[in-house]
Amino acid sequence: MLFLKLRMWLLVAALFAIIYAVIVIIGSYFGIANFYFYLAISLVMMFIQYMIGPKIVEWTMRVKYVKREEYPRLYQMVEGLAMRAHIPVPRICVAQIPLPNAFAFGRSKKDGRVCVTEGIFNLLGDEELKAVLGHELTHLKNRDVLTITLLSVIPMIMYRIAWQFLFYGRRRDERGANTAIIGLVAFLFYFITNLLVLYASRIREYFADRGSVELGNRPSSLASSLYKLAYGAARTNRESLKEVEGLKAFFVNDPSQALKEIRELSHLDLDKSGSIDPSELEVLKAQKVRLGFGDRLLEALSTHPNMLKRIKQLSEYKI
């Protein structure tokens, strides 16, 4: 866990060091009058995104806030986990979509909301659902939404710098070749920082998995829920998946990778029960997981870790 935290802080430091270096270089040596204006616009966009983000999630996911009498068991699970996590009890809601999954959103711990979809109730058992909720409450505890919002603005700033220098800088500056080079470098930084933000997103999933176990959930319960959610996503029609494509980073797993994940995880289900029990997780613990080039590339471009690696990591945890 300490190593994960160290990687996250180093990543945050690297991203902000990159943006600071670019600002200093451009501001000092090229004196672009409008540069800081575009930077300010990017920061304003980040702030607006941060403020209206919860509403966008509510509209897209067709979120309905529910009462205790409607979902007493769900309330009991969330309240118990929030007490263990030492955070305020988040608002509880149900997304009226068939895709089985769960997610957390909000601007802060006090503004936290935890949401399950309608499709999850008939798929997961109580222990599996509780493990998923523990994962989501850990996101709130770790202020993941704020971190990713702050980091995601950096590729956006790099993209604006690249666009400014490549398509507008040469018209106003006699040193057209120099501005084009800066634009290309900024575009390269845009690509690199975008990959780093995706990496940060994957790290936070490992954090949340670990957090769920620390809240008292068995690693096998979370592993089994991930396996079942992959099956649930594979059975969901494509139109429903398209509706939530832009927000899949919020989910416990990536629905678009469901078929691939089923192929990987079915080998763990030794008794073909449709779940992963502690003994099956113990078998994985003794094995080495090696990814091919294609799998590593796909993971590098994904918001979530490779599922087999993720469950392998779960197998290392103990309550």
Q: What is the 3-state secondary structure (H, E, C) of 27-85?
A: HHHCCCCCHHHHHHHHHHHHHHHHHHHHHHHHHHHCEEECCCCCCHHHHHHHHHHHHHH
pLDDT band at 39 (very low <50, low <70, confident <90, very high): low
**pLDDT, tens digit, for every residue of 149-175?**
667 667 777 777 777 777 665 555 555
273 vs 37 pLDDT, higher one: 273
Helix axes 176-214, 293-300, angle to 10 degrees: 100
- Neighbouring CB atoms inside 10 A of 113's CB total 20
| pLDDT value at residue 169 | 56
Q: What are the residues whose beta carbons fall under 8 Å from the beta carbon of 55, sequence distance 6 or more?
A: none
For residue 274 the two structure tokens come to 């449709």
C-alpha pair distances (Å), 7 with each of 92, 211, 281, 314: 32, 17, 26, 18
Mean pLDDT of the region 269-278: 90
User: Does the pLDDT value for residue 60 go beyond 90?
Assistant: no
| pLDDT value at residue 228 | 96
pLDDT band at 141 (very low <50, low <70, confident <90, very high): very high
Phi, psi of 102 (to 5 degrees): -150, 160
pLDDT band at 189 (very low <50, low <70, confident <90, very high): confident
Bridge-based pairing of strands 91-95 and 63-65 is antiparallel
Entry pTM: 0.83
- Neighbouring CB atoms inside 10 A of 185's CB total 16
Q: Which of 128, 136, 205, 280 is catalytic?
A: 136
Name the residue type at position 95.
Answer: A
Mean pLDDT of the region 20-34: 62
Q: Is 136 marked active-site?
A: yes
